[in-house]
Amino acid sequence: GGGGGGRGMVFFSRPPVSGQRYTSSDWLRNMRSLLLQSTVLTRISGHLLFNVVVALLGASWFYGSPDTFLNLGAAGHVMVGTALSLLLVFRTSSAYDRFWEARKILQAVVDNCRGLARVAPTALPSRQGIDFARMIVVFPYMLRLHLTNRGQAPVGDSPEMHDVLRFFDNDQLKTVDSHFSKPFATLSIMNQMLHHSNAKFPGEAMEETLSLLPQRTVLQRNVNNLAANVGACERIQGCPVPLYYSRHLSRFLTIWSATLPLVLAPMLHWWSVPVIAAICWSLFSIEEVGHMVEEPFYALPDDQVQTRRVADVIKRDTVNIFKQQLGVDIETRKLLDRRHGGAVGRQGGVVRPLMMSGMAYA
């Protein structure tokens, strides 16, 4: 935006912080955080402790009664370990594919919402366009609640939703709270706002309706695309990697690692205990990372799939597009003075109108 004296409106603010990225310079901090801050280590601690105890028992057996010790030899574990490695790699790769697909779907949500925000100011009368834009802002937050298994509670019960409540009317909030799927309830409200897309809005000339019909068709198509995006997210959320595969891999890994002392104790003696602990930690961690990445919307810590950032980006862009194109703050429904960035109300008892599609927004 621009204006005199350096006081022009700033339409596009600093983007939200992106996801954390690991760099090679983080290796020391990463190692220091292993014991006290590692989420993966916490999740596998029970399984790991079991195998450490088994390794201690194996080493004690070898030292206490070497003549009766069952030495399995290394050949069998090497051969079976190759198959186990392939299973772990395939499991982790399948899980990462689900994570990346989820991220691509969320990017499609961003693209569709930006398309709605870009077309709505010129396709709808100002009042309806602002109401529609408020639902664009609300939608990604409702999707986030739905995908993080918090969709059954009222919107107001979530502390992070308090800022979003300002974009709801009372009736809209009741409708969304009463619906099983909050994102679909939001899309239903948007569909109701577009139900005149093939007819004219009150006070709108038929010629204008016909000229704007292609743009309103674009809005409807983007709303339908958002509904498809919700369904794609629910497919990832509700259809995990087959349970039989995960259970077989877990059993295979447990048996292989539990019999490892029978291979390493004769070779490494008491040193077999820390060596087995390190081997089990590495393999169990790979398996657990696969379990975590498999459920990208709520199992990963720190919102790695970026649902909150997606919602914040859509909110920022929608608000700024309407400020730029119409000079309206959609949160407060107030007109903005483009020269000074302030809200404009009544001037001399006369409401300053915003003309849009033949309608005056007061």
Least confident of 67-76, 87-96, 183-192, 193-202: 193-202
Q: Quote the CA–CA distance of 210 and 208 in Å, as a whole number.
A: 5
Greater pLDDT, 157 or 302:
157
Q: Quote the CA–CA distance of 302 and 272 in Å, as a whole number.
A: 36
Q: Are 125 and 162 in contact (CB under 8 A)?
A: no
- The phi, psi pair for 351, rounded to 5°, reads -75, 125
Tokens standing for 242?
């087959």
Res 132: pLDDT: 92
What integer best gives the mean pLDDT of the chain?
81
pLDDT of 64 > 80? The answer is: yes
Q: Quote the CA–CA distance of 304 and 297 in Å, as a whole number.
A: 8
Res 325: pLDDT: 86
**Residues contacting 216, CB < 8 A, separation 6+:** 123, 124, 194, 197, 198
Q: Are 259 and 210 in contact (CB under 8 A)?
A: no
Res 239: pLDDT: 83
For residue 156, the one-letter residue type is G
Residues 109-126: pLDDT tens digits?
999 999 999 999 888 888
| Residue whose entry in the numeric block shows the structure tokens 């959609």 | 330
pLDDT of 355 > 70? The answer is: no
Residues 161-171: pLDDT tens digits?
888 888 888 88
Least confident of 57-61, 192-196, 341-345: 341-345
Res 135: pLDDT: 94
* Relative orientation angle of helices 243-258 and 272-294, to the nearest 10 degrees: 170
